[in-house]
Structure 1
Amino acid sequence: MKEFWAALASLMGVFAFFQSIVHAVFPLELRLAAVKIFLWVFRCFSTYCYFDITDTDGVNTNELYDAVQLYLSRSASFSASRLSLSRGLNSSTFTFGLSNNDRLVDTFRGATATWVHAVTQRQSQTFSLHRLPEDKRSFSLRIKKKDRPLILPAYLDHIMETATELRRRSKDRLLHTNSRGGSMDLWFPWESVPFKHPSTFETLAMDPSRKELIMADLKYFAEGKAFYEKTGRAWKRGYLLYGPPGTGKSSMIAAMANYLGYDIYDLELTEVRTNSELRKLLMKTTSKSIIVIEDIDCSLNLTNRSSKKASPSTDSSSDLSSVVGSEDVGAGAKTITLSGLLNFTDGLWSCCGSERIFVFTTNHIEKLDPALVRSGRMDMHIHMSHCSFPALQILMKNYLGFDDGEFDGKTENSDLLRQLEEVIDEAELTPADVSEVLIKNRRREKAAAAAELLDVLKERAERRMNKKRNAAGEETEEEEEEQEKRALESTSNKSDQVLDSCNGKAEQGKVEQV
């Protein structure tokens, strides 16, 4: 051991001797030039190239650094051994990040990209209006030179798009409204609150096949950017929800927003005075949003123009009078027109943003003007009907805890479920009515709650049958009365004819006597 340490000390002495000779013979400038030449030769023969992405670009925050940090957080939670956690403003999720000098390998289009996160101490800072953080953070990207034209800049664009989508999905969704008591702020026309509606397509009371059709249509729309650009169409879509009250139209809108992760803009037309204000509201909406007008047939005078009788004095110059609101034009009067609403949904101003969904709801679709519900404005018409048995199964799962195995007809409740299936269509209850019955009985046993629901359905079905019979009886009585009237009229007509003939014969006899 002593010989080893002695040899090591001798070697270090020889190294120090040669170092002193190099420093004495070769000046500092020459040594630095030699290092640069060595590094240049190394880079020429190296198969990799490196890119540094710092946290700041001068005095401004580097947007690419934040995007890379968010992008790598997807894989860091599974592959990295040491992570940093953070939670952004208005975010509902936690973000994982790489710690100092941690390494992560990513693949893109078959190429490998190696990321290293470096945190170093900044040098002493002089006085500046923009104080920089004490730590200097950066990401180092290493790729092969042959892969550089393959993944750059496409890889960085992919990182930016993915980070934007992750940031949007982690951010709390908002519900906006334009209700301001008749006055609208030109800069901030929308007020917003966090959107926390729990409705989803899984809990929505509707036929599963119809739900799958709607979900597929929404998915194709959200992923259809290239299709809309190719066909030259505005990236938007319209849905018309119609049906009786209580059939789940508002729950459908909430489920659509939760499925796509979009914000909702609830447009109150009664608070909009002119078409100009309507356009300004549209301009202040963001992409990836759902613009909703509920009960559009009750908002303004936008009913079917074909049902209106034309005035004799109406000419081509007065066609717009049929689409003006019910109030007279004047100071403070509402002058929003059907034409303005049509341009709002399908005109040039509707293309000022992208990836928007327009949803109209109504209880009476026959009252709407055909121009408002045609394809291109309302592309998909969804009839929200009364509660069917598949919808009832979903409600019983949600409120009473039934599972799929209990609906296969082999359980002790199979007879009860069969009776429910037979009577549900005849009762014509809305999902809201069925939900109210289930909520009242949610603490009871499943069989007892289902039996209570069956009694309600039978009572409703019997009431509807009696009403139909009474209506049929009234029609029969009216028909009998009408037949009696016709018989009396015919009898009176015959008697009149007989009297007329008798009078004619009497007059003829008198003439003959004369």
Structure 2
Amino acid sequence: MKEFWGSMASLMGVWAFGQSLLQTVIPPELRFTLSKYINRLFNWCSTYCYYDITEIDGVNTNELYNAAQLYLSTSATANGNSRLSLTRAVNSSSLTFGLSNNDRLIDFFRGVPVQWEHVVIQRQSQTLSWRHVPDEKRGFTLRIRKRDKALILNPYLDHITDKANEIKRKNQDRFLYTNSRGGGGSLDSRGHPWESVPFKHPSTFDTLAMDPKKKEEIMADLKDFAKGQSFYQKTGRAWKRGYLLYGPPGTGKSSMIAAMANYLGYDIYDLELTEVHTNSELRKLLMKTSSKSIIVIEDIDCSIDFTNRKSAKSSGNHSSSSSSGGLPLGGGGGGNDGGGNSITLSGLLNFTDGLWSCCGSERIFVFTTNHIEKLDPALLRSGRMDMHIFMSYCSFSALKILLKNYLGYEDGDLDEDVVKQLEKVIEEAEMTPADVSEVLIKNRRDSERAVAELTESLKGRAERNRAAKGVELEEEEEKRALEKLTDGNEGFDSTADHLPER
């Protein structure tokens, strides 16, 4: 060992002497030229390409660095790295994992391995500077085989950007927007026609009280829409979709909208039509909405007085504007007189299906109503409202979800007799999920009492419904009997003109 370390010391001394001799004999310009050509020789002989992605490009932030950092957060946890950095962004409720300083990671894209290295270099202290310079120079170094460069480089970077945007959308808080008071032309303090608040609604498809098969169908449709950019481009269709939620009050239409937003990670624009005065204001509002959003008009049959085309024709108005859907939807029907509303049916149709509806991409239109029969058929056709979803009264499958949400009951926790009673009366009771939830909330601290009170409420509602239906049947039978009696006496006139003369 002594001889080994002695030899190593001699070699180090020779190396130091040779290096100092070269620096003395060879001028700096020649040394720089030699090192440049040596590096080129090594790069030419190497089988890899190296790409540096710095955090700051000049004075601007490099978006590709942020995208790579978010993308590698998922790969780092999947590869089981023993040392990771842990961060939480502003307006985010989830944690993000990332590579530690000067750590490496192997990723695979289309079966091709690539290597990432997080390079962190300490800067020398700068006492005089006109702008703040970070103490550390951060960046990623991407290593790819030269033979794979043309095959995967551009698709891989596009994949990283798309994946990072998806992660960012899921991690950050969503917002609920509403149009500013005073109409679509009004602007808030920042010059926008929409006012926003963080959207914190906890509703998801797991907690939504609805038939599981129907929920799976809706979720599959939403997933196909979100991943269908190439399909919509290939078929020449605008990347949008319309949903109509209809049914009695309290059946979960608003919760469905919140579940859709949480499932897709979209923002919600709650459009209040009563605050919009003209079609041009409606178009301006639409142009200021962002992609990946849900545009909602709740209770569309109540927000504006729908004097549709059929009612106009029945009142004797056969004008050309009536046949083209140009009737004002406001209650006054006379434009803006007296602060009225002059939005037309054609303007609303163009909002959902016309050229102006294509000024953005990946947007969903949702209309809700309690009375679908009041809506003009032009609003209901495919292309405007592509999927009609009936929000029905609470079924037994929906009841099981509510029992799990509020009382923690799983399948098999309830007695078979109780299950049979609930299954027997739930359909006849015609109680909404909101009514059932209210009963469970009041007694959530006593599960047995909650189930017992719910059973009694369902039985009482079912009996009242049966009695009401019996009265309706009797009235209908009396009406039919009267119609038969009237039909039998048809043509008989009891006036004195038909009596024979004496």
Give the TM-score of the pair, scaled to structure 1.
Answer: 0.88
Matched, 1:218 2:226: no
Instruction: Show CA shifts across 1:79-106 (max 9, x none).
Output: 3332222222222222222222111111
Q: CA offset at residue 488 of structure 1?
A: 10
What residue number does 1:512 align with? none
What residue number does 1:511 align with? none
**Does the C-alpha gap of structure 1 residues 129 and 372 become closer, same or farther in structure 2, counting only changes over 3 Å?**
farther
8 Å Cα contact 1:80/1:102 also seen in 2: no
**In the TM superposition, what are the counterparts of 1:22-421 in structure 2 within 5 Å?**
22-78=22-78, 79-123=80-124, 125=126, 128-182=129-183, 184-185=186-187, 187-310=191-314, 312=316, 314-316=318-320, 319=323, 322-327=327-332, 328-330=334-336, 332-406=339-413, 413-421=415-423
Q: CA offset at residue 56 of structure 1?
A: 1.0
Q: Which amino acid is the alignment partner of residue 47 of structure 1?
A: T
- The whole-number CA distance in structure 1 between the counterparts of 2:384 and 2:18 is 84
- The whole-number CA distance in structure 2 between the counterparts of 1:264 and 1:222 is 15
What residue number does 1:508 align with? none
Q: Which amino acid is the alignment partner of residue 153 of structure 1?
A: N
- The whole-number CA distance in structure 2 between the counterparts of 1:432 and 1:461 is 17
- The whole-number CA distance in structure 1 between the counterparts of 2:22 and 2:290 is 66
Q: CA offset at residue 333 of structure 1?
A: 3.5
Q: SS in structure 2 opposite 1:309?
A: helix
- The whole-number CA distance in structure 2 between the counterparts of 1:483 and 1:19 is 120
Q: CA offset at residue 118 of structure 1?
A: 1.3
Q: Which has the larger radius of gyration?
A: 1
Instruction: Show CA shifts across 1:440-487 (max 9, x none).
Output: 2322243x4323222222211211222222333345556677888999
- The whole-number CA distance in structure 2 between the counterparts of 1:218 and 1:343 is 23
What residue number does 1:427 align with? 429
Unaligned runs of 5+ residues in structure 1 are 505-514
**Does the C-alpha gap of structure 1 residues 207 and 12 become closer, same or farther in structure 2, counting only changes over 3 Å?**
closer
8 Å Cα contact 2:175/2:199 also seen in 1: yes
- The whole-number CA distance in structure 2 between the counterparts of 1:486 and 1:53 is 89
- The whole-number CA distance in structure 2 between the counterparts of 1:251 and 1:388 is 17
Instruction: Show CA shifts across 1:119-161 (max 9, x none).
Output: 1123454855433212111111111111110111111111111
**Does the C-alpha gap of structure 1 residues 16 and 379 become closer, same or farther in structure 2, counting only changes over 3 Å?**
closer
Q: SS in structure 2 opposite 1:397?
A: helix
Q: CA offset at residue 2 of structure 1?
A: 5.6
8 Å Cα contact 2:326/2:345 also seen in 1: no
8 Å Cα contact 1:68/1:159 also seen in 2: yes
- The whole-number CA distance in structure 2 between the counterparts of 1:317 and 1:23 is 91
Q: CA offset at residue 240 of structure 1?
A: 0.3
- The whole-number CA distance in structure 1 between the counterparts of 2:198 and 2:223 is 24
What is the alpha-carbon root mean square deviation over aligned residues?
A: 2.8
What residue number does 2:442 align with? 440
- The whole-number CA distance in structure 2 between the counterparts of 1:33 and 1:486 is 113
8 Å Cα contact 1:273/1:335 also seen in 2: yes
8 Å Cα contact 2:297/2:368 also seen in 1: yes
8 Å Cα contact 1:59/1:130 also seen in 2: no
Instruction: Count the aligned residue pairs.
Output: 495
Q: CA offset at residue 496 of structure 1?
A: 9.2
8 Å Cα contact 1:59/1:132 also seen in 2: no
Instruction: Show CA shifts across 1:259-299 (max 9, x none).
Output: 11111111000011111111111111111111100000111
Q: CA offset at residue 234 of structure 1?
A: 0.4
**Does the C-alpha gap of structure 1 residues 33 and 376 become closer, same or farther in structure 2, counting only changes over 3 Å?**
same
- The whole-number CA distance in structure 1 between the counterparts of 2:312 and 2:281 is 28
Q: SS in structure 1 opposite 2:412?
A: helix
**Does the C-alpha gap of structure 1 residues 388 and 44 become closer, same or farther in structure 2, counting only changes over 3 Å?**
same
Q: CA offset at residue 172 of structure 1?
A: 0.2
8 Å Cα contact 1:323/1:339 also seen in 2: no
Instruction: Show CA shifts across 1:345-365 (max 9, x none).
Output: 111111111110000000111
8 Å Cα contact 1:297/1:303 also seen in 2: no
- The whole-number CA distance in structure 1 between the counterparts of 2:307 and 2:33 is 83
- The whole-number CA distance in structure 1 between the counterparts of 2:342 and 2:484 is 53
8 Å Cα contact 2:115/2:143 also seen in 1: yes
**Does the C-alpha gap of structure 1 residues 425 and 311 become closer, same or farther in structure 2, counting only changes over 3 Å?**
closer
8 Å Cα contact 1:49/1:142 also seen in 2: yes
Q: SS in structure 2 opposite 1:322?
A: coil
Q: SS in structure 2 opposite 1:140?
A: strand
Give the TM-score of the pair, scaled to structure 2.
Answer: 0.90
Q: CA offset at residue 247 of structure 1?
A: 1.0
Q: Which amino acid is the alignment partner of residue 426 of structure 2?
A: I
Q: Which amino acid is the alignment partner of residue 329 of structure 1?
A: G
Q: CA offset at residue 34 of structure 1?
A: 2.8
- The whole-number CA distance in structure 2 between the counterparts of 1:264 and 1:436 is 27
What residue number does 1:510 align with? none
Q: Which amino acid is the alignment partner of residue 382 of structure 1?
A: I
8 Å Cα contact 2:246/2:371 also seen in 1: yes
8 Å Cα contact 1:51/1:141 also seen in 2: yes
**Does the C-alpha gap of structure 1 residues 380 and 303 become closer, same or farther in structure 2, counting only changes over 3 Å?**
farther
